[in-house]
Amino acid sequence: MKSTKRESHIPKHIRYAPLKRSVLIWSVATAFLLILLKLWQNNILYNERPPYTVFYKEVIQGNIRQAVLNGTKLKGTYIPSYKTGKNFIVQIPAQDPNIYEALRTHIPDYRIQHTNALLSTIVIPVIVSLTILAGVFWFFISAHLFPRRSRRISFSKHRGRLKSTRQTDVTFSDAAGVEDALEELQEIVEFLKDPLQFQKLGGRMPKGVLLVGPPGTGKTLLAKAIAGEANVPFFSISGSDFVEMFAGIGALRVRNMFSKGKRHAPCIIFLDEIDAVGRSRSVYSDGEHGERDQTLNALLVEMDGFNTQEGVILIAATNRPDILDPALLRPGRFDRQVQLDLPDLDGRRDILKTHARKIVLSKNANLDLIARATAGFSGAELANLINEGALLAARLKKTAVETNDLQEACDKVKWGTQRRSRIMNEQDRRIAAYHEAGHALALSLLPETYPFQKISIIPRGQGFLGMTMLMPETDTHAHTRKKIISHITALMAGRAAEEIIFGDISTGAYADIKQATHLTRMMVCEWGMSDKLGPVQLNQSPQQPVSYTVMPPSPNTTFFSSTLALEIDSEIKRIIDSAYTHAKQLLTQNQPILQAIADVLLAKEIVEETEIKKIITQKAKETRNAASV
């Protein structure tokens, strides 16, 4: 009875649109089958098509038992003693008058069938063809002129995928490196298992939970883990699935999604990439923005219209919380935000161990070393690293994945695949070797620098001729000005080494200059580390209220005077020039060590940090001995 009431509110032209399409489809299919039947009748029943001269002899010899003449086509059957069960069809030439007398004389059962040739050969085929073409034309024209009329029913079905508990077998044990988030989400699991425990004290569970974090940090994995732990159905749908070219479809899908969730309660609805549909509304609601605003309004209304006692928990994920509409984030909708950051050292170690269970790992594999070398990696990147290491070991016919396989996989993910096929001339190799030696020497001699793992002059990726691979001992969250300036100096040391040795500079310092400029600009404009400008924030486009904005600011808009902009640029240039001068002085004073590191690097192509430290210690000892003499 409920379905009948719902259908009564649907207009007739929408209700009967599928029926009209079905009638058209069956009509075309029937016409097609009739044509096939006619072709089958001509080709299968009348399988003999003798030449006219042979047929004339067969008629004279009395081998034809029965025949019917229709215009110029003659169909008939041979006598059993000549060809048993064989039927024939032959074209009778109009210029041979003797054939008709022979047919009447030598065929016992001969008949003439009078039909209108024009009707059978031209009129009927033309009418059938025009009917089929008109039907197809009508179908496409109606679909084009009335898209909402013909497609509303099919497009209104939301694309959420219902996964049963057998399919959602992910639990909290599979989510490593996010312990803080698991503690906050444990309450959701307990509520889904025993909602009365919370309702007795008058407590109310959050209607919605917003998972916020960079890509690859495990937002979707956590949502699946909640459903797996609570043993409830899990709906997964992307925010982009609500946005269509037809007005009103997104809002209808939102209502259908919540209706389906209530029917399967208790359950979890996971809305991935909610920023696709939940970004801030604008004053001008035309076109695409108008459709998105309608969808967002429907989502807000539905979140107000259900309560957690129904057992439906909405979990959404985004990496852009700053562009979400404030109405979504207020209490009563997404009451709780769970922040997922990139994993720290312990988190990376746990994630590596979790994914390493799926591969054959050597007993001597050092996952702690890999965890130290992967600062800034997300959980998805660490999973990819483990997989790349397993593939590399398989290509080398190894029985287990070793540490060097994982190290090579780490370098591949960071810098790209080794390109040993790229032939570097001797001058390019020397420039790359001294460039990387300058980085390594500066990192070794400067105070408060980031430790490095190795330097290499093996080309990787699209444009890296060499690289210095950092490997911090621990994760650092607060960086001092002295440490940042030391790092900028180490970045400029590569170009400084080129100028000292060759008296010229190359394009190899492009990435170093870009990173040094970015760090310096952050020091001056964001972190207030400039003595000249002081502790003020001078970002180019400060965050504006994002709700109901008429027009977003231009990316080139500045919010300070041109005089202050010149002072900012001057301060950035001063810091970088000072770091470059310091790097040149440091390398000039230790040029023999720079030369020794470059020579070893040219010979081996890869030099570890421990070997570089030995070179520095040995050269320092030789210098002291020479001074004492």
CA distance 144 to 146: 6
Q: Determine whether 101 is an active site residue.
A: no
CA distance 234 to 587: 60
Stated length of the chain: 629
Residues 430, 381 contacting (CB under 8 angstroms):
no
At residue 11, the pLDDT reads 44
- What is the pLDDT averaged over residues 77-103? 73
At residue 549, the pLDDT reads 38
Q: Is the dihedral of CA 159, 162, 167, 168 positive or negative?
A: positive
Report the predicted TM-score, pTM, of the whole model to 2 decimal places: 0.65
* 502 vs 323, higher pLDDT: 502
Q: Quick check: 261 pLDDT over 60? A: yes
Q: Quick check: 460 pLDDT over 70? A: yes
Which segment of 451-455, 460-464, 510-514 scores lowest on mean pLDDT?
460-464
Spot the catalytic one: 229, 436, 571, 609. 436
Nearest to 612 by CA among 580, 590, 588: 590
Q: How many CB atoms lie within 10 A of CB 609?
A: 18
For 285-313, how does the pLDDT look when each residue is reduced to its tens digit (9 = 90+)?
Answer: 444 566 677 788 888 888 776 655 567 78
At residue 174, the pLDDT reads 79
Look up the CATH number of domain 345-415: 1.10.8.60
CA distance 505 to 431: 9
Residues 444, 612 contacting (CB under 8 angstroms):
yes
Look up the CATH number of domain 22-137: 3.30.720.210
CA distance 164 to 577: 62
- What is the pLDDT averaged over residues 37-58? 67
Phi–psi pair at 464, nearest 5 degrees: -85, 110
CA distance 11 to 17: 10
Residue 499 CA: distances (Å) to CA of 111, 402, 502, 505, 603: 108, 40, 6, 6, 22
For 57-79, how does the pLDDT look when each residue is reduced to its tens digit (9 = 90+)?
Answer: 778 777 787 888 777 777 778 77
β-strands 73-78, 87-91: how paired?
antiparallel
CA distance 541 to 559: 7
Dmax (CA) for the chain in angstroms is 138
Q: Which residues contact 160 (CB under 8 A, 6 or more apart)?
A: 235, 236, 237, 241, 257, 260, 269
Look up tokens 């081996």; give the residue.
Answer: 604
Q: Quick check: 5 pLDDT over 70? A: no
Residues 212, 252 contacting (CB under 8 angstroms):
no
Q: Please name the helix (run of DSSP H) or strand (run of DSSP E) that holds residue 75, with its range, or none.
A: strand 73-78
Residues 277, 250 contacting (CB under 8 angstroms):
yes
Residues 316, 334 contacting (CB under 8 angstroms):
yes
Q: Which residues contact 629 (CB under 8 A, 6 or more apart)?
A: none
CA distance 470 to 563: 38
Q: What is the mean pLDDT of the chain?
A: 77
Look up tokens 């988190």; give the residue.
Answer: 347
At residue 226, the pLDDT reads 82
- What is the pLDDT averaged over residues 266-276? 84
The domain defined by 426-628 carries CATH number 1.20.58.760: yes
At residue 9, the pLDDT reads 41
Residue 72: burial class (beta carbons within 10 Å; 0-12, 13-18, 19+): exposed
- Determine the distance from the C-alpha atom of residue 245 to the mean position of all C-alpha atoms in its chain, rounded to a whole number: 22
For 571-610, how does the pLDDT look when each residue is reduced to its tens digit (9 = 90+)?
Answer: 999 999 999 999 999 999 999 999 999 999 999 888 888 8
The C-alpha torsion from 128 through 130 and 132 to 133, rounded to 10°, is 160
What's the half-sphere exposure (Cβ side, CA atoms, 13 Å) at 476? 12
CA distance 90 to 69: 10
Which segment of 165-169, 464-468, 569-573 scores lowest on mean pLDDT?
165-169
At residue 326, the pLDDT reads 84
CA distance 209 to 425: 57
Q: What confidence tier does 7 reach under pLDDT thresholds 50, 70, 90?
A: very low
At residue 151, the pLDDT reads 45
**Domain residue spans of the chain:** 22-137, 161-339, 345-415, 426-628
Q: Which residues contact 517 (CB under 8 A, 6 or more apart)?
A: 572, 576
At residue 550, the pLDDT reads 38
Nearest to 246 by CA among 301, 294, 316, 213: 294
∠ Cα 384 386 391 (to 5°) = 90
β-strands 334-339, 312-318: how paired?
unpaired
* 422 vs 465, higher pLDDT: 465
What's the half-sphere exposure (Cβ side, CA atoms, 13 Å) at 472? 15
Look up the CATH number of domain 161-339: 3.40.50.300
For 522-557, how does the pLDDT look when each residue is reduced to its tens digit (9 = 90+)?
Answer: 999 989 898 888 888 886 544 443 333 334 444 445
